[in-house]
C-alpha cells in the first residue's frame, strides 16, 4: 500500500507547489491545507476509512489545465496520489491548485454523473472479495469474459508467499514479465528477491521503464497507476562466467547427492561417490574443487588404495573408473569455474537497500542449455544452503526471501530418487525459514507431484492444445486448480500474452477463487539493461570485491600428492634397503661359501695329511715287519740248515 504521507513531500518539490491545495470529498466537505501536509489525507480518511473504494479523482492546476483519472482504487491515499501523478505526467513545472471529486464506490453516494459505472457479475464480486487482503500487493486486474474490470484487483498476501508457487505457460505468453512484476512488488515491500536470469532480459530492473502510448492505454484499461522505476539489484554469475559477482562453492559443500546428479551417475555409482566423500571427510581431506575429487578417486582406485576401498565398503574399480571419466567430462565442459574458494555466503541474498527496499539478486545463466544439469543442480544447492543456514522463523508477516527458479523442469530431468527426496524435503521445510520458492516452467506436468502439492500459488499463462499430448496436458493442468464455474479448458488456450489464470492461498490457507487476470505492467525496463547500467551496478556492488579473486588453498589433491610422494619415497627407501639387504645377504652367503670352502679345503688338507701320516706309519711298520721278517727268516733258515756262522 502506498502511503501518501510518505510520498507527498517529494511530490510537492517536483510540482513546486507552495500554494494551498483543495481536496473535495463528497459528504466530507472541503479541506484546505498545504500540499506538503498530510492533513487533507487524514480528513479524507476520517470520512472514508480504509477499504472504501474510490471511482474518480480529478485534478486542476493553477494554469487552468487539468485532467481526470477514472479508476477504482482501494484507498483514498492512492486516489490522491494518482491525481497528483497525473499532473506530474502532463507538466512537472505546473503547481497543483486543486485535488477534487473523490467519490466513494457506494451506489447510494454516487451522483447521476457517475451512473455509467458498469455492473459487475456475481463471479467478479466473488473474485473481488476473495482477493481483498491486507498486507498484499496487486499483480493484475480481473478479466471478465476477456475484459479487465478496474478495481477488481488480484492480490497476493505477503504472509502466504512462503507457501511457494508456480508460474507456468507456453513460450512467449509473458512468464518473464510476470516474474519481473512480482520481483518489483516484493522489493517495494522490503522483501529480498532471488531471480535466475536465463535469457538475460531481467537486467532491465536496473533502469526505469519508458512510457509509451501502448503502455498508457494498457494501464488505463486495467486501472493501473503506472510510473517508471528502477530497483536495487545485485548481479551474480556462476563461477564468474558473465557479468556479476562469482558464485562458487566447494565440492564438499556441494555434496555427493547433488554432484551425482550433475555427473549423471546411477544409484550404485551415487552410493560409491558417497563413500568416497565419507572417506575424504574421515581423512580430513578438503574437497575444494574437482581436481581434489579426482585425486581422491584416483588414489582409491590405485594399487595403494585397494585396501582402503575394501575397508570403506568395497567400491568396484569399474565404478571408480566411471566416476573418474564423468569428472573428466565435467571438467572439459568448464565446470572447474564453479568450484573453489572463497565459497559464497548465502546470506548475501538477504539484504535490503538503504531506502528499505529489498535487494533483487540476479543470477545470470546465459548458456544454461549447454550444461542444464550443472546449472539446475547449482540452483538446488543454493536452496539447500538456505535451508541449512537460515534460522527457523515460523509464519511471518512477509517472507525473508523469495526465490524464483526459471526452467525448473531441468532440475527434475533424469533425477534419482535420492535427489527428488532432497528437493521435496527442502520445499516442504524451507517455508519455516521464511523462504518462498516459485518454480517457473512451461507446464505443471514438468514438476513432480510431491513438489507440485507444496505450491500454494499458481499463475498459469496460456497453454496451447494443438496436439493430443498438449490437449492431455491442458486437461491435467485444469485439474490442479480449485473447482470454479469457469470452463478453464476453454479459458486457458484463449488467454493472450500477459494474461493468466491465478489462484493463491488466503491468510487462512484457503485457495482463492480462480481468477483470469491481466498482469500489470512492470515499472522497470522490460528487457536487457544498457551496458552503462550494468557497469554502474557492478561498480556499486558490495559483494564483488569479496568473491572476485579465486583462492587455491591446500586441499585434498595437494595433501594426497604429498602423501603419495612420501609413500613413493618410503617405497624407494624400502627398495634400497631391500637391495642392501640382498647385497649383504649375497655377500654373507659368498663369505659363508668361501668359509665353507676353506673349511672343506682344510679338511681335505687334514685328511690328506692324515692319510700321508697313516701311510708313513704303515710304511714304517711295513719296513719293520719286512726287516723283522727277513731277519727271522734268516735265523730260521740258519737254524734249519745249521749253517750259522761261528
pLDDT tens, residue by residue, 454-478:
999 999 999 988 889 889 989 999 9
How many C-beta atoms surround the C-beta of residue 305 within 10 A? Answer: 21
pLDDT at 314: 66
pLDDT at 119: 66
Q: Are 358 and 365 in contact (CB under 8 A)?
A: no
Pairwise CA distance, residues 52 & 73, whole Å? 9
Pairwise CA distance, residues 615 & 621, whole Å? 10
pLDDT at 202: 93
pLDDT at 102: 37
| Mean pLDDT to the nearest integer, 624-633 | 73
Q: Report which of residues 29 and 333 the model is more confident about.
A: 333
| Mean pLDDT to the nearest integer, 389-398 | 90
pLDDT digit string (tens) for 348-377?
A: 999 999 999 999 999 988 776 677 777 888
With the CA atoms of 204, 209, 213 and 219 taken in that order, what torsion angle do they form, in degrees rounded to the nearest 10? 100
The three-state secondary structure class of 360 is strand
Q: Are 414 and 264 in contact (CB under 8 A)?
A: yes
Pairwise CA distance, residues 556 & 286, whole Å? 5
Average pLDDT over all residues of the chain: 79
Per-residue HEC secondary structure of 317-353 comes to HHHHHHHHHHHHHHHHCCHHHHECECCCCHHHHCCEC
For the ranges 64-78, 165-179, 257-271, 330-344, which has the lowest average pLDDT?
64-78
H or E stretch including 142? strand 136-144
CA Rg, the chain, in Å?
46
pLDDT at 49: 41
Burial pattern 495-507, b for ≥16 Cβ within 10 A else e, equals beebbbbbbbbbe
pLDDT digit string (tens) for 566-586?
A: 877 888 888 888 888 888 888
Q: Are 320 and 300 in contact (CB under 8 A)?
A: yes
What does the block give as the cell for 388?
541449512
Share of the chain above pLDDT 90, in %: 40
Pairwise CA distance, residues 253 & 127, whole Å? 46
Q: Report which of residues 226 and 631 the model is more confident about.
A: 226
Pairwise CA distance, residues 606 & 628, whole Å? 32
Pairwise CA distance, residues 585 & 577, whole Å? 12
The DSSP 8-state label assigned to residue 150 in this structure reads E
pLDDT at 412: 86
Q: Report which of residues 267 and 2 the model is more confident about.
A: 267
Confidence of residue 103 (pLDDT cuts 50, 70, 90): very low
pLDDT at 273: 92
pLDDT at 379: 86
Q: Report which of residues 82 and 3 the model is more confident about.
A: 82
Q: Report which of residues 429 and 629 the model is more confident about.
A: 429
Q: How many helices (H) and strands (E) does the chain have?
A: 21, 17
Pairwise CA distance, residues 523 & 228, whole Å? 5
Per-residue HEC secondary structure of 362-395 comes to EEECCCHHHCHHHHHHHHHHHHHHHHHHCCCCCC
What does the block give as the cell for 434?
521464511
Burial pattern 477-487, b for ≥16 Cβ within 10 A else e, equals bbebbeebebe
Amino acid at each position: 500500500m502506498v502511503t501518501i504521507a510518505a510520498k507527498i513531500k517529494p511530490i510537492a518539490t517536483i510540482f513546486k507547489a507552495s500554494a494551498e491545495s483543495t481536496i473535495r470529498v463528497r459528504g466530507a466537505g472541503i479541506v484546505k491545507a498545504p500540499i506538503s501536509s498530510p492533513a487533507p489525507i487524514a480528513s479524507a480518511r476520517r470520512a472514508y476509512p480504509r477499504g472504501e473504494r474510490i471511482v474518480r479523482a480529478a485534478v486542476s492546476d493553477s494554469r487552468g489545465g487539468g485532467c481526470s483519472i477514472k479508476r477504482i482504487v482501494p484507498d483514498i491515499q492512492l486516489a490522491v496520489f494518482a491525481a497528483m501523478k497525473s499532473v506530474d505526467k502532463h507538466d512537472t513545472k505546473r503547481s497543483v491548485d486543486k485535488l477534487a471529486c473523490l467519490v466513494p464506490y457506494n451506489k447510494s453516494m454516487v451522483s447521476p454523473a457517475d451512473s455509467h459505472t458498469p455492473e459487475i457479475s456475481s463471479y467478479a464480486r466473488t473474485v473481488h472479495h476473495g482477493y481483498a487482503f491486507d498486507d498484499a500487493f496487486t499483480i493484475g486486474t480481473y478479466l471478465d469474459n476477456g475484459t479487465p474490470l478496474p478495481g477488481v484487483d488480484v492480490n497476493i498476501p505477503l504472509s502466504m508467499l512462503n507457501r511457494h508457487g508456480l508460474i507456468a505457460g507456453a513460450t512467449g505468453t509473458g512468464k518473464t514479465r510476470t516474474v519481473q512484476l512480482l520481483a518489483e512488488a516484493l522489493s517495494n515491500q522490503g522483501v529480498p528477491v532471488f531471480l535466475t536470469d536465463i535469457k538475460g532480459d531481467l537486467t532491465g530492473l536496473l533502469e526505469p521503464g519508458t512510457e509509451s502510448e501502448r503502455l498508457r492505454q494498457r494501464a488505463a484499461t486495467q486501472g493501473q497507476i503506472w510510473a517508471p522505476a528502477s530497483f536495487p539489484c545485485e548481479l551474480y554469475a556462476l563461477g564468474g562466467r558473465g557479468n556479476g559477482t562469482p558464485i562458487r562453492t566447494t565440492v564438499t559443500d556441494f555434496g555427493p547427492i547433488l554432484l551425482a546428479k550433475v555427473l549423471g551417475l546411477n544409484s550404485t555409482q551415487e552410493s560409491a561417490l558417497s563413500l568416497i566423500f565419507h572417506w575424504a571427510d574421515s581423512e580430513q581431506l578438503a574437497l575444494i574443487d574437482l581436481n581434489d575429487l579426482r585425486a581422491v578417486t584416483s588414489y582409491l582406485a590405485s594399487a595403494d588404495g585397494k585396501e582402503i576401498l575394501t575397508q570403506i565398503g568395497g567400491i568396484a574399480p569399474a565404478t571408480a573408473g566411471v566416476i573418474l571419466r564423468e569428472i573428466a567430462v565435467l571438467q572439459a565442459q568448464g565446470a572447474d569455474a564453479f568450484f573453489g574458494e572463497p565459497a559464497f555466503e548465502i546470506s548475501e541474498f538477504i539484504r535490503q537497500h538503504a531506502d528499505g527496499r529489498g535487494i533483487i539478486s540476479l543470477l545470470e545463466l546465459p548458456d544454461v542449455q549447454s550444461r542444464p544439469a550443472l546449472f539446475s543442480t547449482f540452483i538446488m544447492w543454493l536452496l539447500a544452503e538456505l535451508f541449512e543456514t537460515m534460522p527457523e522463523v515460523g509464519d511471518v508477516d512477509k517472507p525473508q526471501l523469495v526465490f524464483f527458479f526459471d526452467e525448473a523442469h531441468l532440475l527434475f530431468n533424469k533425477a534419482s530418487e535420492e535427489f527428488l527426496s532432497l528437493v521435496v524435503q527442502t520445499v516442504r521445510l524451507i517455508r519455516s525459514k521464511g523462504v518462498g520458492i516459485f518454480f517457473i516452467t512451461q507446464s505443471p506436468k514438468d514438476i513432480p507431484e510431491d513438489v507440485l502439492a507444496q505450491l500454494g500459488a499458481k499463475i498459469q499463462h496460456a497453454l496451447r492444445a494443438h496436439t493430443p499430448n498438449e490437449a492431455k496436458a491442458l486437461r491435467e493442468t485444469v485439474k490442479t486448480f480449485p473447482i470454479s464455474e469457469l470452463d478453464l479448458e476453454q479459458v486457458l488456450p484463449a488467454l493472450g500474452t500477459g494474461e493468466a489464470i491465478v489462484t493463491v492461498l488466503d491468510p487462512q490457507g484457503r485457495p482463492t477463487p480462480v481468477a483470469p487476470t491481466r498482469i500489470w505492467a512492470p515499472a522497470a525496463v522490460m528487457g536487457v539493461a544498457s551496458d552503462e547500467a550494468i557497469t554502474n551496478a557492478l561498480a556499486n556492488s558490495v559483494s564483488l570485491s569479496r568473491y572476485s579473486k579465486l583462492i587455491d588453498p591446500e586441499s585434498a589433491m595437494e595433501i594426497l600428492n604429498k602423501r603419495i610422494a612420501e609413500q613413493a619415497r618410503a617405497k624407494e627407501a624400502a627398495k634400497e634397503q631391500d637391495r642392501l639387504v640382498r647385497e649383504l645377504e649375497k655377500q654373507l652367503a659368498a663369505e659363508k661359501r668361501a668359509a665353507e670352502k676353506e673349511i672343506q679345503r682344510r679338511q681335505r688338507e687334514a685328511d690328506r695329511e692324515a692319510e700321508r701320516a697313516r701311510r708313513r706309519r704303515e710304511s714304517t711298520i711295513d719296513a719293520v715287519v719286512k726287516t723283522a721278517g727277513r731277519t727271522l727268516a734268516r735265523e730260521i733258515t740258519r737254524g734249519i740248515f745249521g749253517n750259522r756262522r761261528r
